[in-house]
Amino acid sequence: MTSPRIALLGLGIMGGGMARRLLGAGFPLAVYNRKPEKVAALTAAGARAAASPREAAAGADIVISMVADDVASRAVWLGPDGALAGLGRGAVAVECSTLTVAWVRELAWEVAERGGEFVDAPVTGSKDAAAAGALNFLVGGGAASLERIRPALVAMGRSVTHLGPTGSGALVKLVNNFVAGVHVAAFAEALTWLERSGVARDPAVAFLLEGAVASPITKVVAARMLAGDFTPHFLLRLMTKDLGYALDEAGHQGVALATAEAALGRFRAAVSAGLGDKDMAAMVEGVRAGVR
């Protein structure tokens, strides 16, 4: 059997690694990126460069988007040069970005209107996981559609969790990032507190990272905060966006996320301090500086 033809829209921190995994697995791949300079390395590895999302989607069996937010997702899917204009009947549109549930459901409707199938499959894992093919896919949509795209997901990830109908993956991803954002904010405050307390910081942190509060995300960001290395793995401004989306979605369901409100305040202050394009661990710099 021939491999399905895939189009991938968005070659940022995550999309670039995902594209390389698909190429390495032998999938015919077309790629599009708003900034064309990110395309060259992939075309050298065998991908076909497309001048627009529509061109990338033309002839593809699976079209995958990995972009920053609702605005960027609308831009790549809709309009005369959007991917839906080139989507063939029966093709599967896959949205891997972290988006609002409302937009995901609207996009699913737009895809169905054009005779396609839709799956929302946002991921957990950051830059290193994308490069290593170790992402975790949180999937909403029909079981048959999922089986059609599963080989591509397996090439890019280590797990695929089917959570229910359209929008289920998007919702659980917002829950995940809400909790992760709170952990990052809490540890930034804890580390700053330790640094000002006069106790020996490093053994205190080592104790915390071996104890009950040591979540996986806390361990990851703690290493970056301690090293002062804020090379982007997950952009701080994107976590800020995700917390905002989570608050809105929970609010629609009558749930007040008080801890998310507090964390979002910290993240927004860090963005205002010019840290938005650094790794989310850079939030500690804003806390240390007293930015609020």
The reply to whether 186 falls in a domain is: yes
In angstroms, the CA 216 to CA 250 distance is 24
Beta bridge partners of 124: 136
The reply to whether 93 falls in a domain is: yes
pLDDT at 1: 57
Q: In terms of domains, do 160 and 175 share one?
A: no
Total number of domains in the chain: 2
Residue whose pair of structure tokens reads 């690694």 in the numeric block: 17
Residue whose pair of structure tokens reads 């996320």 in the numeric block: 257
Q: In terms of domains, do 33 and 98 share one?
A: yes
Task: Provide the annotated active-site residues.
Answer: 173
Burial class (CB in 10 A: 0-12, 13-18, 19+), 275: buried
Q: In terms of domains, do 161 and 198 share one?
A: no
The reply to whether 1 falls in a domain is: no
In angstroms, the CA 186 to CA 115 distance is 46
Half-sphere exposure of 207 (CA within 13 A, CB side): 9
Q: In terms of domains, do 49 and 140 share one?
A: yes
Walk along the chain (292 residues) in steps of 10 and give the mean pLDDT of each run.
92 98 98 94 96 98 98 98 98 98 98 98 97 98 98 98 98 98 98 97 98 96 98 98 98 98 98 98 97 86
Q: In terms of domains, do 63 and 194 share one?
A: no
CATH number of the domain bearing residue 119: 3.40.50.720
The reply to whether 157 falls in a domain is: yes
Q: In terms of domains, do 207 and 116 share one?
A: no
DSSP secondary structure letters along 65-133: E--SSHHHHHHHHSSTTSHHHHPPTT-EEEE-S---HHHHHHHHHHHHHTT-EEEE--EE--HHHHHHT
Q: In terms of domains, do 202 and 141 share one?
A: no
Whole-model pTM: value is 0.97
**Residue 213 per-residue DSSP state:** T
Range of the domain at 246: 171-288
For the chain, how many helices (H) and strands (E)? Answer: 14, 9
Q: Which two tokens stand for residue 246?
A: 């989570």
Which residues fall within 8 angstroms of residue 208, CB to CB, at 6 or more apart?
A: 190, 214, 222
Q: In terms of domains, do 54 and 157 share one?
A: yes
In angstroms, the CA 32 to CA 58 distance is 12
Distance, C-alpha 182 to centroid of its chain: 17
Q: In terms of domains, do 107 and 175 share one?
A: no
Q: In terms of domains, do 195 and 142 share one?
A: no
